[in-house]
Structure 1
Amino acid sequence: MALQSSGTTCAVRGCTCNQTKLNLWLKEQCYIHKPKVRAECTCERRYSFHRLPIEDEAKRNWLKNLNLKKPPKTLYVCSFHFVEKKPTEDNPYPTLFLGYEKPPEKRRRLLRRDDIYTCWLASELDTMDVEQNPTSLCDAQTQWSDPWMEDHTYSKGPTIPCGLTLAPPPELQPAASYTLTNNADCLLYTDQILMTLMKLRQNFVIADLAKRFGKSHGQVSKTVKFWIDVLYKHTKDLIPWLPRETIKATLPEAFKDHFPNTTCIIDCTETVLQKAKNLYSRSESYSHYYASNYLVALVATSPSGLVMFISEAYGGNRYIRYIAQNSGFLDCLRPGDEVMADRGFTIRDLLEERKVNLVMPAFTRKQCQLTNEEVTHTRRIAHARIHIERAIRRLKVYKHRLQTLLINLVPEFDKILQICAAI
């Protein structure tokens, strides 16, 4: 029986038919019986609603076909889901467009002649391998142990590497004498440096490096940490603050015409940080600008693109002004220098105290738009600032910085940042 009460909705999954839409359709003008509306004409209605039957067997079949986890107390189904647009003796249940599909039947794959030949060939090759290498198999009750998991000699004190055929350079002689080695199978100091650089560049997991170099997980972790400290100590001098004469001698063509007095270009580089469980620590690294947890460091490059200064990493909640004041960057400047920066570096007053000029794009300052001179000046600055963007891009080539930084690596991040900038 068709019902027309308001609020009636079809219970089929995904069906949007309801009584409100039907009432709006009935108020529209009929195209055939103009000017009558659809409720007054003799045309067939768009759809009708049918209620769940009371009989137990019919009710059970309806619910089985609808496949609803929580059927409503008063259940209606529109005529779109019946074969004859309504329940009949031949088709009393809803069977069309029920909003779900039956899972496909699983069929056994027929074994073709090519597959039979492939299986036979594989079995023959296995038999030949067993005959030629009888020791390649092992009894199930006698499984071989992994020597990498049993090697724990790295926990002992520092030892002198055995079988070292390549002499280290003089500056690495003290470091090479403390390389972590195994008495049975030592690892050259060059391989240990390679392992550390692979960790920084590709950010391989410890298990992967242990498999590649044939060492235990703990030995790889301790080796990488050791060489990060050594490289940090030896790369401090590779980030020098160039004198003015050297900067002017290597000034690119983009600076000679419009910014000949530029000493350095500054910008910030960010690294995504893993969320800490401690709420205070999480708030210290949360950046409202990026809406996530970040570590921020100040980078200064020469106009030619050489990294001359890189600060320690600060939490994302620190402002650029705070980083510039506490990182030691202002101490590197001299009176008469010129610093190029992007919008957001509110350090003009700090630089004026040291008689340093700040070059940055123009602001509208409550104006409708910039003047022609300001637009030209902003474009020239953007054209010149591309050098520091390229320098920061070279830093982010190291996937250890590009990927999310783990919480336990935060104490070592300043060292990693300096090593990446120096290399």
Structure 2
Amino acid sequence: MKRSSLALLSMLMVFTMFLAACGNKTEEKNTASETPKTETETPKETEAPKKDVSLRVFSTFGGTDTAREAFQAALDEFTSKNPNVKIENDTMSANDDGFRTKVNTDMNSGNEPDLLFYFVGTDAQGFVDAGKVVPLNDILDADAEWKAGFSPAALENTRQKDGNIYAAPLTGFYEGLFVNKKIFADNNLELPTDWEKMKTAVSTLSKKGIIPLAAPFDQSHYVIEHFILSAAGAKGHNAGLADGIDPNWEKGYAAMKELYDLGAFPKDAATIDLGMASNYYAEGKAAMIIEGSWAMNNWKEPNVIDNTTVLPFPAIPGGVGTGKDAIGGFGTGFYLTKATYDNADKKDAAVALLKHMTSPAVIEKIAIANGGTPAAANVEIKGVNQTATDGFAMAASATSVNNPIDSMVAPETFSTLRAGVQAVVTGKKSPADAVKEAKDIEDANKK
């Protein structure tokens, strides 16, 4: 590269000054050898050690969660680079309904974790309104590189009603009807792409001693979401119960009973939980299960996972669903609690940990582990199995992708909807009464 004459002149001047300085140092050295030194040299300053910090992180990456080890590894990576920071990894399983109680208790009793991985939407509204967590808008805007690492859609999906983003997303998800193609083929059944094919499959499999649809009555989260979405469509599903009852919700519950009468559910559906239902499918004892993208990594049996595809739940006759609507999105994220943000000793470490746990590298590792949709803008998950590929294709071709119902109604309301499943399918309560009871709880919760 050519340098200008001015640049060369400048370099020459610097070099001349350097020689002069060397000469002066030589003279100073000679003088110093002749004159004893009496001054005490000032010691070189060293950087003060960083103060020890202890942080508690609460999440649902516990139990049998497929990303549990990847999550712990990400925490360990942070502490190895920041040895002054100690992290308590406080976890519970998402299948344990007690985690909601724990979060609400901690957030309301002054025992907030420093970082909280939790749901967005209605589940978080209480502690958001109470000012227990910090809006991340300014922190995101102040770090352009961190913000640019997120998919804009992922960030937008975590925005609360007040317009602020409180939760930094990690991975998203999709839910669908996971179907064992081999069981269907062995029994000369067509895949359940419409309601009649679904009923035929349920009736046929039940008579042969095969569980058609592995699902529990109590932890009936996915059953409720998909039956209501398939009957009420995206608009009716997403309206919740705040402004009245969409009659298509009742059709969704009526459809549950219709399949129950055909023998759709396990005989012990009243007592099993989501984990046991998943085990039935994993062991090849069930032909179908409504689950999320995270579940497939628990199905290690080759004859099961290699023969599984993912379909949208079929539209329910008389309703307004398209038969291609899906549940999914970015319904969870990391919250930074206000108590930690206001703590001068913890703030910087907590923000640094938040950014690390939502960096593209960590997001990619978690997404690979749990089969989720990465919240990072430029992360592409490669090498996934065919089931995951089918799931991504199902979500990509959906006429709508919707957050789960439990993010749109109060927790007490959703518990009532869950309780209504067993009551309706066993004939102890009508679909209209079950939905009306939930509506009453929703209205009472507003008062």
Q: Answer with 1 or 2: which has the greater Rg.
A: 1
Flag whether TM exceeds 0.5 (same fold). no
- TM-score (ref. length: structure 1): 0.18
